[in-house]
Structure 1
Amino acid sequence: MAVISDSFRKIFLLMGALLALATTMAAAQTPFGNNPLGASQDAEFLPVDQAYQQDFLFSGDGASVIFQIAPEYYLYRDKLALYRLDPDGKTPLPMELPDGEVIWDEYFEKETEVYRFQLEIPLAATPAERMQLEVHYQGCADAGLCYPPQVRQFDLDFNNGTAAPLDPTGGPRSTPAPLTAGASESASLGLPLAMLLAFLGGLILNFMPCVFPVLSIKLLSITQANQQSHERHWHGWAYSAGVVGSFVAIAAAMLTLRAGGEAVGWGFQLQSPAMVAGLAYLFFIMGLSLSGLTEIGGRLMGLGQGIGNPRQLRGSLATGALATLVASPCTAPLMGSALGFAVTQPAAVALLVFAALGAGMAAPFLLLTYAPGLIDRLPRPGPWMDRLKQLLAFPMYLTAVWLLWVLGRQSGSDGVALVLAGAVAIAFALWLWPRPQWHWGSGSLAVLALFGALALLPRLEPVAGAGAASSAKSDYWQPYSPERLEEARREGRPVLINMTAAWCITCLANEKVVLSSDTVAETVSTLDIVALKGDWTNQDPLITELLSRYGRTSVPLYLVYPAGGGEARVLPQILTRDGLIAELQSAAAPEAGAALAAGSAL
């Protein structure tokens, strides 16, 4: 055991050195005047609608959009856009913009043109008496905080010279809420603490059921014969590279889409029915491989003889990437604040946080490859391994079933039927696949079956309300909308908000254990609490906006608004029944329940 402890100590020292080096490099990249590290300690940032106030100036020739920009804040020229909203879509409007100030932007790492203090954008004269206008913009603070891209909609009445705010669905929009404690706390974490929280959250991801099937296969691979210690080390590092690289790649894609104005968050790839179906196919193929039908999945997972061959390192790399794909929708404790901080920072800083998340997830397996004492205690390779491989096929099949359930929430029963037909085509193709050498007849038919299965993926589209029936397991839930929230707040009633998604394992566990319990349902009814539930299984800009307001990039998000007014309390991502009831009692009677809430721990 002394050898094991010494190996663990060396690995932790190495990871600590890498973490310190990454922190130093990130700090060195950013001038102090625009340094999020320095800013996070002392600066208090304005809510986005106070930093960039919109107004309208009407005249006989039309109108102008006016931005009042707070001191030490600026707007990006290339993020400004105006659209006229019509019943059949929206039309971009031409803009005559003045010259701005050219700065080196740390967030996008390029020279860019910005506006400060005030900006006027003339609107061309229109013969219509009314027009619905959509305004796109994004800005940053000199102290280091960059806001996500913003969208605002207005109903312009040229005759009366008025502009009424709209929500993205076309109805009246309430005054935007100020930046909340949850968002400001995320923004003020600082890079070292954010990376530490991300690393710990990555460690916890290994215990999520969405990761276990893949990780169990990888653990099996290190028991293969003829593996020397240095070979296991190489596979540990290859797996770690696959995990960290995939986390960074997904994060880069998310940040790019957000910078382009898309309302996406962490785990956005599983909001695509085609991606969900593709992963279901992949897990189905791996299950068939473990069952002995084909060797394709075995090569992907790094199983089989010759795993010590360096050429087989790509199997460990691919396993890390696959584990990341299925783990990224899961949100472990400690992750929420770290990722909320990341998306407000320059790209280089944000990617460091996501890399720390991947390092945390990869660390247990990497450490195991450096623990020869534990590996030596594993049974020797033998016939039992074939039986174990066949047994591990069933978690793969169950993962495919879970993905099909998610797909049903996104695309309805028609989408599930299409993918099941594709799975039959894949099984038929693998059964036909010529072995040990190629045969044109059976091989061509197998290729056609595979292409037929893949051709079904582009036909999968999100269906509005596909999961509505299954999402309301308890009678007390109402569909979330900003209007319903504002109405309940005006009535002075306490509000419970549950932001969830079908692919979020943490959300499903909280639903089953806590939120669906009779005790919670009775408390909600007795205290006359308005319970609102938002389903983020498919993309929903309204839910994305609420997540961003509270410093979150993904679900779950649980909020409790107190009766009579006041800011919401952000609840932990892992709920307990007694803790939730105490929070609801405190919200229903803030004065009487303050002591109770203070003594309760979620």
Structure 2
Amino acid sequence: MRSLLIGLLLLSPVLALAQTLDGAAKPLFGVGTTTELLPVEEAYQLEVELADERAVRLYWQITEAYYLYQHAFKFRLEADGELLAVSPEFPQALERTDEYFGEVSVYYDNADILLAAERPIPAGATLAVTFQGCADAGLCYPPRTQFFSLDPASGATEIPRPGRQQSATDTAVQTTADFGSLPYMLLLAFLGGSILNLMPCVFPILSLKVLSFARSSDHSRHLHSWVYTAGVVLSFVAVAALLIALQRAGSAVGWGFQLQSPGFVIALTYLFLVMGLSLSGLVQLGGSLMNAGSGLADRGGLSGSFFTGILAVIVASPCTAPFMGTALGFAVTQPPAIGLAVFASLGLGMAAPLLLFSYSGGARALMPRPGPWMETLKQFLAFPLYAAAIWLLWVAGRQTGVNTMAAVLAGALVLTMALWLWGLGGWKRGAAVVCALLAISLASWRGLDENGRGEAQLAAGLVPFSEQSLAQLRREGSPVFVDVTADWCITCLANENAVLFTDEMTAAFEDHGVVYMVADWTNYDPDIARFISSHGRTGIPLYLMYPADPGAEPLLLPQILTRDTVFQALRAVTGNNS
């Protein structure tokens, strides 16, 4: 059932594009580089000294074939409970194209940074330094934070790194505004938003809006594209404001948190069903709902375009895209104004293709002339929405149980009847309202199901995640692969079906003696949310490969996996080149 659902959802070309992007990056790392990665403290050796009463010198000795990201440096200087503003002076860096972050500035061999404080540094001041690096072999370390006690008389002394229970301190390092990294993160968010348009839930909506331009005037086309853009951007900013507010209130939530609510998933199921029925021509919803087609320029069309932008964001919520994880992780660790700017850039990226078609005659010239084919395409685009509705129904069943699936199916039937009755008009619209209310009540009926998924549902050889189990396995010297996933995460499911759960990969994990641990975030779990946050991410998928050495840092794998990437990580943490 799971494989069938994924096959239906992957009718969209998005994952093929993502795999192409991922595969295209591989040659950039060279041929023949070592895959036996060093512990992070050996790969990057940091020395700290006081240059004068207002300056600290940070010097990294970087092992050959390893590098550090300039944008990943974070500094926090604190004295007597107060933050001291600091200004880093970076040496010239090397520009390169990176598998994880695109165009970046990096340091090879060494990095010598002078940190200037706003006033003299008193004795007992604490400096927290965060950095992140990768190896030319193509694997990354999570961000690492080191702490130093500063004293003008005795110099700098490293403080042992806090344990997991103090991980909030690490996060605090990144709460000061990082304007140096902002332009790059805005670009990543923009690219991630653009790729969202290829997701199976969003693609039909974008396609219909583009088709509607075929018979529109330039003024109408431009106006509606900007109103649609406003709907997209404002929706992303609203979601971001809620996410940031919840996190600052102490809730351990991340991107996609709304999908951990079965009620929201069921509502999306109904929405996709209704949208599909409309595209199939079985029900007429009018221009005020989706506003796709010739009604674009009619009165009320502007509100329809704005609502379509909101709708596009809602249906994109189950999706992630390359570049999104890093940008969103950055956004939620910054002051609210910077975080909201990153989410706004994500919205602009999602709206950019429509704006391009609106203003580019060349892009519109690629479209066939208007004709009956447009109606046929419109009806065809209903099927990805039906597939998405089936998948979301499955997600709701996995979150709760089979009784919920049956209730939601019955609710979908009654909802379809409500739409049919409404179209007949007259007194039948009263019956339609009754049917709609019945559909909502059926969607809320979950009393006979046990909430959540049990450990018995994991496939043979997979271990359920807990920080205690992970720590125990590491103490025993076992290499561990942690797969943070969820049934509502399309990218996660695609990676599992295409790479991780193949017979070849299962045998490889067994041959290398690596324990495969699954952190299932389908339902809300604050421990998993904190685990994700501690590795500099705000959403999933998240893949970590822990070496057998209990003191070594894990390797951070890309969000889009390939067979070679996982095999490379397996060899790196075990030293087994077979």
Fold similarity call, TM over 0.5: yes
Please give the per-residue CA displacement for 1:397-442, whole angstroms capped at 9, x wherever unaligned: 112111111111212111111111111111111121254xx412x1
Superposition pairs for residues 47-446 of structure 1, below 5 Å?
Answer: 71-72=81-82, 190-223=181-214, 225=215, 227-296=216-285, 299-309=288-298, 311-435=300-424, 438-440=425-427, 442-446=428-432
Residue aligned with 2:463, SS = strand
1:482 aligns with 2:467: yes
TM-score normalised by length of structure 2:
0.69
Superposition pairs for residues 560-599 of structure 1, below 5 Å?
Answer: 560-565=545-550, 566-589=552-575
1:197 alignment partner AA? L
2:352 alignment partner AA? A
1:560 alignment partner AA? M
Q: Is the 8 A contact 1:329 1:503 kept in 2?
A: yes
Give the C-alpha shift of residue 332 in structure 1.
Answer: 1.5
Residue aligned with 1:539, SS = coil
2:374 alignment partner AA? M
Residue aligned with 2:294, SS = coil
Please give the per-residue CA displacement for 1:65-93, whole angstroms capped at 9, x wherever unaligned: xxxx974469xxxxxxxxxxxxxxxxxxx
1:466 alignment partner AA? R
Residue aligned with 2:75, SS = coil
Q: Distance in 1 between matches of 2:503 and 2:168?
A: 35
Work out which structure has the larger RCO, using CA pairs closer than 8 Å and 6 or more positions apart in sequence.
Answer: 2
1:494 aligns with 2:479: yes
Q: 1:576 to 1:187 in 2, by over 3 A?
A: farther
Q: Is the 8 A contact 2:208 2:293 kept in 1?
A: no
Q: Distance in 2 between matches of 1:535 and 1:200?
A: 27
Aligned residue number for residue 453 of structure 2: 466
Give the C-alpha shift of residue 540 in structure 1.
Answer: 0.6
Q: Is the 8 A contact 2:75 2:128 kept in 1?
A: no
Aligned residue number for residue 558 of structure 1: 543
1:447 aligns with 2:433: yes
Aligned residue number for residue 546 of structure 1: 531
1:216 alignment partner AA? S
Aligned residue number for residue 57 of structure 1: none
Q: Distance in 2 between matches of 1:494 and 1:236?
A: 51
Please give the per-residue CA displacement for 1:290-333, whole angstroms capped at 9, x wherever unaligned: 22222216542212433213521222222221221122332222
Give the C-alpha shift of residue 522 in structure 1.
Answer: 1.2
Aligned residue number for residue 55 of structure 1: none
Please give the per-residue CA displacement for 1:191-215, whole angstroms capped at 9, x wherever unaligned: 2221111111112222223322322
Residue aligned with 2:452, SS = coil
Please give the per-residue CA displacement for 1:38-64, whole angstroms capped at 9, x wherever unaligned: x98864359xxxx9xxxxxxxxxxxxx
1:534 alignment partner AA? A
Aligned residue number for residue 44 of structure 1: 75
1:210 alignment partner AA? C
Q: Which runs of 5+ in 1 are unaligned?
A: 1-38, 52-68, 75-116, 119-139, 145-172, 597-602
Q: 1:176 to 1:530 in 2, by over 3 A?
A: farther
Residue aligned with 1:301, SS = coil
Aligned residue number for residue 536 of structure 1: 521
Residue aligned with 2:381, SS = helix
- RMSD over equivalenced CA pairs, Å: 3.4
Aligned residue number for residue 51 of structure 2: none
Q: Which runs of 5+ in 2 are unaligned?
A: 1-69, 85-122, 131-162
Please give the per-residue CA displacement for 1:518-568, whole angstroms capped at 9, x wherever unaligned: 222112111211111011111111110110000111110000111122111
Residue aligned with 1:532, SS = strand
Q: Distance in 2 between matches of 1:467 and 1:327?
A: 28
Q: Distance in 2 between matches of 1:229 and 1:290?
A: 26
Q: 1:563 to 1:179 in 2, by over 3 A?
A: farther
Q: Distance in 2 between matches of 1:562 and 1:351?
A: 37
Q: Distance in 1 between matches of 2:545 and 2:177?
A: 21
Give the C-alpha shift of residue 459 in structure 1.
Answer: 3.8
Q: 1:319 to 1:571 in 2, by over 3 A?
A: same
Q: Is the 8 A contact 1:186 1:338 kept in 2?
A: no
Q: Distance in 2 between matches of 1:249 and 1:331?
A: 18
Q: Distance in 1 between matches of 2:177 and 2:556?
A: 15
Q: 1:284 to 1:41 in 2, by over 3 A?
A: closer
Q: Is the 8 A contact 2:356 2:363 kept in 1?
A: no
Q: Is the 8 A contact 1:277 1:419 kept in 2?
A: yes
Q: Distance in 2 between matches of 1:209 and 1:387?
A: 18
Q: Is the 8 A contact 2:176 2:334 kept in 1?
A: no
Q: 1:282 to 1:41 in 2, by over 3 A?
A: closer
Give the C-alpha shift of residue 219 in structure 1.
Answer: 2.5
Q: 1:178 to 1:287 in 2, by over 3 A?
A: closer
TM-score normalised by length of structure 1:
0.66
Give the C-alpha shift of residue 241 in structure 1.
Answer: 1.2
Q: Distance in 1 between matches of 2:72 and 2:368?
A: 52
Residue aligned with 1:534, SS = strand
Q: Is the 8 A contact 1:217 1:301 kept in 2?
A: no
Residue aligned with 2:234, SS = helix
Q: 1:195 to 1:377 in 2, by over 3 A?
A: closer
Q: 1:531 to 1:73 in 2, by over 3 A?
A: farther
1:556 alignment partner AA? P
Q: Distance in 1 between matches of 2:406 and 2:293?
A: 34
Aligned residue number for residue 10 of structure 2: none
Q: Distance in 1 between matches of 2:71 and 2:377?
A: 51
Residue aligned with 2:318, SS = coil
Q: Distance in 2 between matches of 1:71 and 1:234?
A: 52
Residue aligned with 1:307, SS = helix
Q: Is the 8 A contact 1:499 1:535 kept in 2?
A: yes
Q: Distance in 1 between matches of 2:293 and 2:212?
A: 8
Aligned residue number for residue 133 of structure 1: none
Please give the per-residue CA displacement for 1:248-293, whole angstroms capped at 9, x wherever unaligned: 1111111111122222111111111111111111111111112222
Q: Percent identity?
A: 49
